[in-house]
Structure 1
Amino acid sequence: MSLHSTSMAGAPSLDRAAWFATLSGLCGSFVAIGLARFAYTPLIPALIEAHWFSAADAVTLGAANFAGYLAGALLGRPLAAVLSNRHALRLLMAVATAAFFACAYPLSITWFFFWRFLSGLAGGSIMVLVATSILPHIPSARRGFVSGAIFLGLGLGIAASGTLVPALMGFGLKDTWIGLGLLSLALTALSWFGWPGGIVAPATAPAAEHSLPATSKRSLRVLYGQYAANALGLVPVMVLLVDYVARGLGKGADIGAAYWVLYGLAAIAGPLLCGTAADRVGFAAAYRAALLLQAIAVGTLAITGNPVLIGMATVVLGIFTPGIVPLTLGRIHEILPHDPMEQRAAWSRATTAFALFQALGGYGYSFLFSHSGQNHALIFLCGAAALALALAADFLFAARRSVAQAS
């Protein structure tokens, strides 16, 4: 199925099927990542105050989504190889939707953990599959736009979670979960017939790295490490930002949710802003700047309770939570400019690295949070340190490469 047409001037344009596929991709990232992951964050104070779970258990259950995301990153390609991309994506959207309804009933910690894990699995698999299912059907000149539209769903989902959750909470915690489930169901139905067919993902990643130049291999490995460290830096914000403002600073759940809305609004602009910056300075420089700004922002959360500074840090982190995705993809394309198969394999490896350290960070921070007297500042400092190490690794690798070229 070809999802494009040609304009009178000869430039490629998107036809109705291409727009529908793009909309489906946006719905996929909106539901399985934007809502399934981020709607939980503004709910944490309510879960604790309603005595559904203790503070430590609520944070641990948030980390269940990260563990599922790792499983999804590993299982997405094999699942698509068995079912086809279209059917796999439909199934994953349905699973994410079912998880919202299931979480309306806190039957036990095990029950809640299971469904939070499944929602993460859906998100990880969709992240691996969504772009590679749609972009091959899109003219190359329009793939940047379509990719940005797909990832826009992340920011829209974050913003929606921040605006919908406080509104729905007026009806109660159970009805809040059901309301999120109904929204997810509507978006799943909207996307159902838009997923393109005709491509079956291979069960294993193609093209081993041994065939690449040594410089490219080292650059990719550094990038995988940086992307993994970026996960460690973002997890504290994903899980604890609202709780930090609401309970840590004593501002209440409504003010905490307001910061989450700010985070989501910034996230909507993130992919476009990061892509524009990369077009001007290159993806390597843009990624380096992203690491620096994120480290400063997470460190700011650790050392101050000033509402203005927290707001500024929230905006920065909101921009880069989804914005780091196209920056990483673009960096992979810079390193492997003429190898589409290896680009897809590298993206799969990068996503797995991010998912692994996101899960490790989720559980590690949960343990540290519960054994440090719920010390939010300590968790944020750990995140800032991870981002600082990623930035240092970038400069160290660049210095070594310069020495090697000089010799």
Structure 2
Amino acid sequence: MLARNENEPVSLVRTALAGMIAMAAAMGFGRFSYTPILPGMMSGVPLSASDAGFIASANFVGYLAGAVLAAYGWAAGRERAVALAALAANALLLAAMAVTTSVPVFAVIRFLAGLASAFSMVFTSSIVLSHGAAAGNDHVQSAHFGGPGAGIALSALMVLLIGIAFPDAGGWRADWIGGALFSALGLAAAWALLPAGPAAAARKGPEPAIAWTPPMLLVTLSYGIFGFGYVITATFLVAIARMDAAGAFVEFLCWFIAGVTAAVALFGWKPFVRVLGLGGVYVAAVVIEVAGVLATVMLPHSLAPLIGGALFGATFLAITAYGLQIGRKLSPESPRRVMALMTAAFGLGQIVGPLIAGWVAEGTGSFTLPTYIAAAALGICALLVLPVIKKLG
């Protein structure tokens, strides 16, 4: 049932669309819909800021575990089956969030969802990006990594509409069920569109170990710190808007804008790659993200989440995609291992970020100090890659 004919000609349009839809379901809904749903859970369950950070970190522990497991060769030849099974699990786990109010159970569900999203991301990407690379078409990568942004925008719209339909404190349950339904539709579309496996040129058997040169170490460390710095805003942006009493429409709009800008970010950054190179674009995007993160707490409450969301969305997926691309360029013989292990470094940063942010926010009564910590971490992230720019050319 999960197989497709390997001899069937591969359409790059269908392949890019499969990647975009799968990433929207697994990442936009599976991971990032927690952000717009969280304020309703905090008031409706209820959850404290530290509870919210703990649940978010459990998701990232699962993501880390999935990324590490994906680095091994057990799925070679079965990438499509694993990716689709992970999408199915993602839909079921989103629905499961609606049937409990227990913080430990939430954490277990989100851990499993993180595992599923990592498998979906790594194995879907290994198929989609290999076909784009084999054809020399970088629009495939841009569409693929635009998927999470599209999912983020759709999840924001979904939460707004459900909030109108279910104005009571139980609306957060309907949010999770809505996300599950979207993910089920995404699974059906990916099953119909996703190629049978990676491009033939990418099938070389087990990959060699990553060449851990100083540039590769610096980029991986930077990528891990980026995971810490970006995730605080990614998790709590809508909660910050709620605490600032910005209003329901601003809460919706800030996450919707973040999603829309993220969906088109790689297309927008593409011309600058020719001018600045991969390393230069990575650093520039991180610096702009620092500005966006600081904007969420430094601008007037009516503007802060909107401008912060726009700058955040315009950069975080570009940094994610170009960081992986830099890693693949530095260790070209081990593309799957690079993707999996850099994702693992990213995952380690994500685990720590929400825990610290939730704990500090509960102690100080706001997310201002955690946001400054995130901005400082992102600054370090940019500095680490500066020595690598010349190496990349």
Which residue among 239, 263, 273 is the counterpart of 1:278? 273
Give CA deviations for 1:284-304 in whole Å, capped at 9, x if unaligned.
Answer: 111111121112221232333
| Aligned-pair CA distance for 1:234 | 0.7
Q: Distance in 2 between matches of 1:209 and 1:239?
A: 31
Q: Which amino acid aligns with 2:81?
A: H
Query: 2:208 — aligned with what?
Result: 207
Q: Which amino acid aligns with 1:71?
A: A
Which is further off, 259-268 or 133-142? 133-142
Query: 1:61 — aligned with what?
Result: 55
Give CA deviations for 1:359-406 in whole Å, capped at 9, x if unaligned.
Answer: 122223223233x2332001100100101112223346679x9xxxxx
On the 8 A contact 2:127/2:197 being kept in 1, the answer is: no
| 1:191 lines up with 2:203 in the alignment | no
| 1:230 lines up with 2:226 in the alignment | yes
| Aligned-pair CA distance for 1:334 | 4.3
Q: Distance in 1 between matches of 2:206 and 2:345?
A: 14
On the 8 A contact 1:74/1:125 being kept in 2, the answer is: no
| 1:81 lines up with 2:72 in the alignment | no
| Aligned-pair CA distance for 1:30 | 0.6
Q: Distance in 2 between matches of 1:124 and 1:143?
A: 24
| 1:243 lines up with 2:239 in the alignment | yes
Residue aligned with 2:33, SS: helix
On the 8 A contact 1:41/1:238 being kept in 2, the answer is: yes
| Aligned-pair CA distance for 1:309 | 4.9
TM-score w.r.t. length of structure 1: 0.85
Cα pair distance change 1:55/1:393, threshold 3 Å: closer
Query: 1:11 — aligned with what?
Result: none
Q: Which amino acid aligns with 1:330?
A: Q
Cα pair distance change 1:80/1:321, threshold 3 Å: farther
| Aligned-pair CA distance for 1:99 | 1.0
| 1:351 lines up with 2:347 in the alignment | no
Q: Which amino acid aligns with 1:355?
A: G
Query: 2:173 — aligned with what?
Result: 174
Q: Which amino acid aligns with 2:273?
A: A
Residue aligned with 1:208, SS: coil
Query: 1:9 — aligned with what?
Result: none
On the 8 A contact 1:233/1:382 being kept in 2, the answer is: yes
Query: 2:3 — aligned with what?
Result: none
On the 8 A contact 2:45/2:101 being kept in 1, the answer is: no
| 1:373 lines up with 2:364 in the alignment | yes
Give CA deviations for 1:160-188 in whole Å, capped at 9, x if unaligned.
Answer: 11111111122323222212111111111
Q: Distance in 2 between matches of 1:78 and 1:88?
A: 13
| Aligned-pair CA distance for 1:109 | 1.8
Q: Which amino acid aligns with 2:209?
A: A
Q: Structure 1 regions of 5+ residues with no counterpart?
A: 5-13, 402-407
Query: 1:325 — aligned with what?
Result: 320
Residue aligned with 1:112, SS: helix
On the 8 A contact 2:50/2:355 being kept in 1, the answer is: no
Q: Which amino acid aligns with 1:133?
A: I
Cα pair distance change 1:77/1:396, threshold 3 Å: closer
Cα pair distance change 1:142/1:209, threshold 3 Å: closer
Residue aligned with 2:364, SS: coil
Cα pair distance change 1:79/1:250, threshold 3 Å: farther
Cα pair distance change 1:194/1:117, threshold 3 Å: same
Q: Distance in 2 between matches of 1:30 and 1:138?
A: 19
Figure out how many residues of one structure are paired with residues of the other and give that number. 378
Which residue among 382, 385, 392 is the counterpart of 1:394? 385
Cα pair distance change 1:88/1:176, threshold 3 Å: same
| Aligned-pair CA distance for 1:139 | 6.1
Give CA deviations for 1:124-159 in whole Å, capped at 9, x if unaligned.
Answer: 122222121233345634441212121111110110
| Aligned-pair CA distance for 1:22 | 2.8
On the 8 A contact 1:77/1:129 being kept in 2, the answer is: no
| Aligned-pair CA distance for 1:87 | 1.2
Give CA deviations for 1:39-89 in whole Å, capped at 9, x if unaligned.
Answer: 111111111221343343123212222121111111234585288111111
Query: 1:120 — aligned with what?
Result: 114
On the 8 A contact 2:52/2:358 being kept in 1, the answer is: no
| Aligned-pair CA distance for 1:107 | 4.5
Cα pair distance change 1:378/1:86, threshold 3 Å: same
Q: Distance in 2 between matches of 1:140 and 1:79?
A: 21
Give CA deviations for 1:81-137 in whole Å, capped at 9, x if unaligned.
Answer: 288111111110011000111111125222221111111111112222212123334
Q: Structure 2 regions of 5+ residues with no counterpart?
A: 1-5
| Aligned-pair CA distance for 1:3 | 6.3
Query: 2:147 — aligned with what?
Result: 153
